Chains A and B, each alone.
Chain A
Amino acid sequence: MTILPPEPVRPPSSESASPKILIEDLRLSYGPKEVIHGISFYIEPNEILGIIGPAQSGKTSLLRCINRTIDFTASAKVSGIIKVDGMDVRQMRNVYELRRKIGMVAPLPVGLPLSIYENVAFAPRTSGMRKKSDLDGLVEKCLRQAALWDEVKDRLDSLGTKLSGGQQQRLTIARALSHQPEILCLDEFSIAIDPVTTMRIEEVLRELKQDMTIILVTNLVQQARRLAARTLFLWNGEIIELDTTEVMFSDKAKDKRTNDYVNGIFG
């Protein structure tokens, strides 16, 4: 009879060998009102992390803390640690470089009032890419990645704002990819687009996972179930539960509220 070696100790949830994003005791308040109450979690490289939760639970605010666009809200006060690649986001001086590391897709599609080409070329231009051939290649690559190239390749000079909602959302994704981010944050990307387009984009995300870490904030719990390796349930600025998607969507979820929420009988 052999004695089995002791099982390796699973690291506690807030520690991973080298997480892409590490958040510790993050608190955020707008004026006197605290909206995120000290949350901690990490995201592994090349992971898709689903974040689910009802409106007003702090999902968008959390993303804005990570890419520091929260700075634009004068009343916002952040405390705690946010690390991207082990670097403290809140101490960074070059926030523009940080934001280039993070692609951000907003809930409603925002086509900038520029041509389709310029919509995608805007970010590389702001960071100093000038050569036409480089830009052409990048624009095509990003539009292909966002599954939009075939529909717009013949009219790259027409306005991005004239595209349909679903196309604009894919244009937004192409723009978010145009600065070649390592992290892609999607904030309820599918609320303004049809199910078929949503499925196409989900397909795209599965492929993008090879190259980047993805945070998928979603109102559709089934979307998290389809895509995410782990799912985080955020409610009223607190993490109710964070576990593998499999567990979260089974009756093994530890918190009853998780069960209720994913089964649509919350509240």
Chain B
Amino acid sequence: MPMNAPASNPADLFTETAFTRKKRRTEMLAQGLFGTMTLAMVIPLALILGYLAYKAAPLLSWDFLTTNPTHGMRKGGIWSALLGTIYLVVLSLCISAPIGVLAAVYLNEYAKDNWFNRIVNLAVVNLAGVPSIVHALFGLGAFVLFARLDRSILAASLTLAIMTLPVIIASTKEALASVPVSFREACWNVGATRWQTIQAIVLPNSISGILTGVILQVSRTAGETAPIMFTGAVFYRNIPEGNLFAYGIKDQCMALSMHLYTVTTQVTNAPEALPYAIAVTLLGTVLLINATAIVFRVWLRTRKKW
């Protein structure tokens, strides 16, 4: 064997074989596919938003937001519906977020793995998939009739809270579970209680994930029509304009989602831009509420430690 023969042909690193060509093509194909799918998601979204804004433009103004509908919804603004939606979203999240997050902490951090807790977990997962109209009927029976709350903001918010609760529990559990067990063990080893561990390590490192789960429920709460239709939202209501405290929790209210539904299906001769303007306001409200939470989340994430 000649001593100067190379162990392997160095040219191999510079020539393409059938196999490397195939690898390269697959790689390009994969990247192209994933990229296209991302575009397939972004483009329609941008088109929808652009179309909505374009169609709504003639009507959108500060006055539109701050005056009540008049002339059988055909004229005026959407103040009472806008304020109603804000009331419903804020109140229902004030109920479901604390209960959901705390219940998830229990289920993920304290609950033993026994048959009872397994059933609870299974119930949570399944409840998250129940259609909203079923929640509406439950809300009607439990809050409006049985608890005698009548049709009110409170009853509607409770119904929405029941609807969002399982999803918040599921997403919070997910966020908590993403904190490595080794962190918890390290804390237990130095004599920390479960609560001290949760407080010092688990919650600070999962809070942004928890908030993401809650934020997603803002849009769901604002967008649902079915659960509030039987429990507190009405066709029309006149409230003092510009007063943020115009509704009481026992009042019935208008809501943007329901207003959009009635304007498109029940009101004849409404201006063409009206439904679009309502839709844009609904989206804007959701984004505004989300933005607050997102700013808070970004601030928390800058403090995330690993």
Q: Is the CB–CB distance between A96 and B112 below 8 Å?
A: no
Chain A 171-186 per-residue mask, 1 if CB under 8 angstroms from chain B, else 0: 0100110110000000
The answer to the question of A161 belonging to the interface, with a C-beta cut-off of 8 Å to chain B, is yes
Q: Is B291 an interface residue (CB 8 A)?
A: no
Q: Could you mark each residue 90-108 of chain A with 1 if its beta carbon is under 8 Å from any beta carbon of chain B, else 0?
A: 0000001111100110101
Report the interface size class on chain A.
20 to 34
Interface of chain B, main secondary structure: helix
Interface stretch of the complex, out of A7-15, A32-40, A120-128, A131-139: A120-128
Task: Give Cα A98 to B191, complex, Å.
Answer: 8
Please tell me if the beta carbons of A74 and B305 are within 8 angstroms of each other in the complex: no
B26 within 8 A of A: no
B306 touches A99 (CB 8 A): no
Does chain B have a CB within 8 A of A240? no
State whether A110 and B183 are in contact (beta carbons under 8 Å apart), knowing that A74-B112, A74-B113, A159-B305 are contacts in the complex.
yes
- Known contacts A110-B182, A112-B183, A161-B305; A69/B191 CB under 8 A: no
Report which of B186, B205, B305 forms a contact with A106, defined as CB distance below 8 A.
B186
Contact for B191 among A99, A108, A110, CB less than 8 A: A99
Closest beta carbon of chain A to B120's beta carbon, Å = 16
A91 CA / B187 CA spacing, docked (Å):
22
| B185 CB contacts on chain A under 8 angstroms | 69, 72, 106, 110
Q: How far is the CA of A178 from the CA of B182 in the complex (A)?
A: 18
Q: Which residues of A contact B304 (CB under 8 A)?
A: 113
**How many inter-chain residue pairs (CB < 8 Å) link A and B?**
73
* A175–B304 CA distance with the chains assembled, in angstroms: 21
- Taking CB atoms, residues of chain B closer than 8 Å to A99 are 188-191
How many angstroms from the CA of A159 to the CA of B201 in the assembled complex?
13
Residue contact B305 to A114, C-beta cutoff 8 Å: yes
Tell me, yes or no, whether B177 is within 8 Å of chain A by CB. Answer: no
Q: Return chain A residues, CB-CB under 8 Å to B305.
A: 113-114, 159, 161
Q: With a CB–CB cut-off of 8 A, which chain A residues contact B112? A: 74
> For the complex, is B61 an interface residue (Cβ under 8 Å from A)?
no
Query: Could you tell me which residues of chain A, from 196 to 245, have a CB within 8 Å of some CB in chain B?
Result: none
Q: Give the residues in chain A near B187, CB-CB below 8 Å.
A: 112, 122, 126
Return chain B residues, CB-CB under 8 Å to A179.
190-191
- Residue of A72, A103, A112, A161 ringed by the most chain B CB atoms within 10 A: A112
Contacts of A122 in B (CB 8 A): 187, 190, 192, 200
**Residues A96 and B186 in contact in the complex (CB < 8 Å), given A74-B112, A122-B200:** no
For B303, give the chain A residue with the smallest CB separation.
A113
Q: How far in angstroms is the closest Cβ of chain A from B204?
A: 8
Are A126 and B196 in contact, CB atoms less than 8 angstroms apart? yes
B224 to chain A, nearest CB (A): 37
Q: Is B193 an interface residue (CB 8 A)?
A: yes
Instruction: Please list 16 pairs of residues, one from A and one from B, whose beta carbons are closer than 8 Å in the complex, sorted by A's number.
Output: A69-B185, A69-B188, A99-B188, A106-B182, A112-B183, A112-B186, A112-B187, A113-B205, A123-B192, A126-B187, A126-B191, A126-B193, A126-B196, A176-B189, A176-B190, A179-B190
Q: Which residues of A contact B (CB under 8 A)?
A: 67, 69, 72, 74, 96-100, 103-104, 106, 108, 110, 112-114, 122-123, 126-127, 159, 161, 172, 175-176, 178-179
